Structure 1
């Protein structure tokens, strides 16, 4: 089968997945997209909008809590610009009647212990507070858990972070979002209001084929948690950015790769017994096995469900790889699993091309003598020169495990900083004999020698 025929067959597999979920889960409208750097954007729409507009790639859906990923990025921009610190208390920047002791970091990771929603029965009445009332009634909201105790999802917490962004930028959350994220990334179909091309959201009856339209709602001051509308194409691109910012934003106009890496680091698990998902700084992390993780968020609002995830790691994963599924039903949970299935199927049926190996530059002369096998803590490690860097990995590490990577310290010869992988942040120090041969190393203060030794220096060759 030719490459073109293989890609066509893979696209048909993806389309079949979408059509099956739309039919079996009984969703009035589904829009899906897959973004990857090495292929044209793939899209699929099934169903109808429920109004007088046609369903196509430009149809907007409510994305609910996927909005939180945008607010989290805005917060991290403020941190990178020196406007706040993640360990700042809220009351350092906002005048609040209560809960000002909670930190930015805790709110981003949903570990602040703040109650889920603003004061009042917002899901019963669909009346949410404006900005002034959100703050005025904050003293009536509970801190239901001690900060840092465990994961507890909070729309109220994300609403406060949105207000914080507006405060430190002397603007509004919506204006900052448009100026600093949507416009630079070209996400022109992502908006705070539905616009004229939006699908109607439904609740589909469990025991009949009736689809009841849900009332439209504006989430007011809680908008930074769930307000946005978007298209599957925009959301697939956004998911690709969250997973691979270097490929989507090469100049770092929105956020640098190191900051996204920080956001993707798991802070907590969402279930203490089943570690099926974790939470970073505003991002959901879903392990897939074999060192693959999907990063993004789900969303739910009356009449709508959404999921947008990017894929990191694993053989066959292309650069800038993200998938999004938006649906006009509030009850079809199968929609939330579909982005993960699309990402897995795309890799299975149309993996990224294997990049050929090519010879590189030799290791610097002063490092050639240390390459090879060393022993530390009773285990064997292999030090090598790859891609222009000094690297190390355990001799028994599985092939997919990333190596430790070291960077030289310009003002300290024979001292390196671990910048990735095992013992990141720690120093590697080389010790040479009188002839300049490296005879010993200390990594994170542990002694490394050419032969296996006990901690007291006993050499098993003796």
Structure 2
């Protein structure tokens, strides 16, 4: 892909979506760590004298929630907030103060969807005092932990908690802690400068009418932000590959983003097509590939920003963002996924040549090779400075278990199978490892029954 020219296949996909879904303005970007940024805009901004281009900003709606989620996890990493804290520990609330940060962040608190009142009729959102005071009249739609129940109110409360802990407004904290460090200069709560007009396009004609603007007030942490497709694609890339986008961990540790991407619930009990982590949607794409990010909707606007993880052909820091100025053009929401798949298929990541690596340390060399546990065969090997293991029959794409030493004869599983569990080594008089216990299960060089009988014997 080129930064200024067109990738013809991607361009055709975008142009087809704009035409068929009847989107007044469509702006897209694909970010990857090994190629220049690719962007394309189709349509008209709706503002006289301001042509649609890569600098035109759109409302991103609930993609805002991913920014608020990162702010929450920053506070957690710094010891300002714990995920199992009741929200009442951080906000003075008249009711529902027992709901935890973790439940609010994963939409499993059961809190009603919107702030109290008819916000979408009046287009008037509460201020901070009103948002908190009205919790006395807010319903618990479901018991906590019962199921996924999406809530703008939940994310609004988390944003207000972050602001209070940091001693500023949510917008100030966002700029200081996230957008400025990552160079996301277009991301802000304000339309100006260069904001597109959002429309409702008539279902039965080609007429379009501008939607009224709405300031989300104290609920801004749920859906207020504006931005460009380029900055949103970079943000999506950060969510899946922070080591490339934020190599120093200035915004968030890579391990914390791993935690955020772990699904806490499904969004549909009968169709496991999407999971929800800590503020992030996880959309399976098959073959151990996921798209991570969020969709967004506000009057006159739809948005989607997702990064792609997993698979042998996925480029580093691979993200796509799609911003449109129609509130009902649903194909916009599928477009990030379509662009990521097409961009990878047309231009997969370059293959890195294999090169010899370091030998395993002497204390680990007698482990290497085949072992048996619970009647199944495993292969232990050394790669990239770590001891690893995988089932002998595991599919090629399944990640191995990775171990880190605690001391000479004790290692911790840090990822993969049995993550968090110990691998304990038993050595003979020569120092060679002759038996291991992984998560307390015995591993031996030959296949044995649970009472230690070598099945090769009669």
| TM-score, length of structure 1 as denominator length | 0.97
Q: Does 1:461 align with 2:456?
A: yes
Give 1:55-134 correspondences, 5 Å limit: 55-134=52-131
- The aligned residue for residue 390 of structure 1 is 387
CA contact (8 A) 1:306 1:325 kept: yes
Report what 1:149 is aligned to: 146
Say if 1:10 and 1:346, in contact at 8 Å, map to a contact too. Answer: no
Seen in structure 2, the aligned counterparts of structure 1 residues 346 and 427 have a Cα distance that, compared at 3 Å, is same
Q: Return the alpha-carbon distance in structure 1 between the equivalents of residues 87 and 64 of structure 2.
A: 21
- Residue 52 of structure 2 is aligned to residue 44 of structure 1: no
Task: Give the whole-Å Cα distance in 2 for the aligned partners of 1:262 and 1:315.
Answer: 22
> Aligned residue for 2:30?
34
| Deviation sequence 1:418-458 (CA, Å, 0-9, x none) | 01111011000111112222111000000000111111111
Which of 237, 240, 252 does residue 240 from structure 1 map onto? 237
Matched, 1:427 2:422: yes
Residue aligned with 1:117, SS: coil
3-state SS in 2 of match to 1:16? helix
1:93 deviates by 1.3
Q: Matched residues in 1 for 2:313 and 2:87: separation?
A: 43
Measure, in 2, the Cα distance between the counterparts of 1:224 and 1:236.
Answer: 20
User: What are the residue-to-residue correspondences of 1:399-418 with 2, within 5 Å?
Assistant: 399-409=396-406, 412-418=407-413
- Number of residue pairs matched by the alignment: 456
**Does 2:371 match 1:374?**
yes
Residue 11 of structure 1 corresponds to: 7
Q: Is residue 446 of structure 1 aligned with residue 450 of structure 2? A: no
**Counterparts of 1:345 and 1:102 in 2: how far apart (Å)?**
42
Q: Structure 1 residues 213 and 312, CA, compared in 2 at 3 Å: closer, same or farther?
A: same
Distance 1:199 1:14 in 2: 23
What's the RMSD between the two structures over aligned residues? Answer: 1.3
Cα offsets for 1:32-68 (capped at 9, x unmatched):
0000011100000000011111100000000000000
Alignment counterpart, residue 285 of structure 1, candidates 282, 285, 309: 282
Measure the CA separation in 2 of the matches of 1:37 and 1:208.
42
Inter-partner Cα distance in structure 1 for 2:309 and 2:120? 35
Question: 432-441 vs 104-113, which deviates more?
Answer: 432-441
Matched, 1:348 2:338: no
* Partners of 2:385 and 2:162 in 1: CA distance: 40
Equivalent residue for 2:19?
A: 23
**1:9: Cα distance to partner?**
10
Q: Which runs of 4+ in 1 moved over 6 A?
A: 7-10
The residue number in structure 2 matching 1:260 is 257
Aligned to 2:137: 140
Unaligned residue ranges in structure 2 (runs of 5+): none
The runs of 5 or more residues in structure 1 that have no matched partner are none
| In 1: Cα distance, 2:179 partner to 2:367 partner | 48
> Secondary structure of 2:408's match?
strand
Relative to the length of structure 2, the TM-score reads 0.98
Does the CA contact (< 8 Å) of 1:309 and 1:322 recur in 2?
yes
